[in-house]
Amino acid sequence: MLDIADEQRGLIFNIQKFSIQDGPGIRTTLFMKGCPLTCPWCSNPEGISDEPEIMVSERKCIGCKKCAEACNADAIYFENDMRIINWKLCTNCLECAKVCPSHAIQVMGEYKTVNEAFKIAAQDRDFYSTSGGGVTVSGGEALLQWEFVRDFFKKCKDAGFHTALDTTAYCPWENMEQVLKHTDLILFDVKHMDPAMHEEKTGVSNELILENLDKASNTTKIWLRIPLIPGFNDSESNMQKTAELASRTKAEKISLLPYHEWGKDKYSSLGKQYGHNGVEGILEPDSDVVNKCKLILESHGLEVELGK
């Protein structure tokens, strides 16, 4: 019989093995579904909703029309053998994905118990020990499902695995504090230092986020991660304030993550619009801008790396 911790369930949209981007060494990263922020540059739009949802692939569609037959909302139909989805009619019942033989419609988000997730992570324990790696929980925003993350991390720590939490920390401190009892490293996302600018782009102020960062820095190792968005947070003044934050919270490292459009095609596959809130038209930052930001941070004695 499973104990209480093992029975806790979490909604996960991806489990990525052999990750080298989400903390030290070789890692297994769990991506939790649901996020309270609305960052327009998000490259994981399948992690925004806190419910399972369909994601479609036109390339895989074989035109069998089984999805249209299964759809009770008449949201799927075919014209000239081409599948069309009226996303406004879709009720997210997921029946179309169940009958699709070519996996051209897939469900993003699957509930797993702590024990089920741990068994997957434990398959690569040898890689963790030889590389100095471990397990990372990301999102979405992992702390929306803090009880699952707390119990999962506890089980990982009991097995001797290094644990890392990738988070925006937009949550009650009491919830985060419970997770940090079993967390070795926080990969802390910092979008902007100005509360108004932060709210304009992400939908929430950064005040709670920065409060939680200050508190967390007293107990847990910190790495800062900064998505570098041209025209938003790449100014010299914002970089200076970010460097001051990193110094105050004793951040061991800062990762600069230049803006890219790698997740752009996912939006239409989910029935979502890419480029809301002014991000459409933003170009990837050129190397001069990236290097300038890097030098500003390094001038404060901080370790800075790009793209990790």
Model confidence pLDDT, tens digit, residues 105-133? 999 999 999 999 999 999 999 999 999 99
How far is it, in rounded angstroms, from Cα 225 to Cα 164? 13
In this prediction, the residues of the chain whose per-residue pLDDT falls under 50 are 1-2, 4
Give domain limits for the chain: 4-50+111-306, 53-108
CB 138 within 8 A of CB 164: no
Q: How many helices and strands, by DSSP H and E, does the chain display?
A: 12, 13
The CATH classification of domain 4-50+111-306, taken from the options 3.20.20.70, 3.30.465.10, 1.10.630.10, 2.60.40.10: 3.20.20.70
Q: Write down the pLDDT at residue 273.
A: 85
The residue among 170, 134, 126, 165 whose CA lies nearest residue 149 is 165
Q: Write down the pLDDT at residue 235.
A: 95
The domain made up of 53-108 is a member of CATH 3.30.1490.190: no
How far is it, in rounded angstroms, from Cα 289 to Cα 210? 25
pTM: 0.93
Q: Write down the pLDDT at residue 277.
A: 55
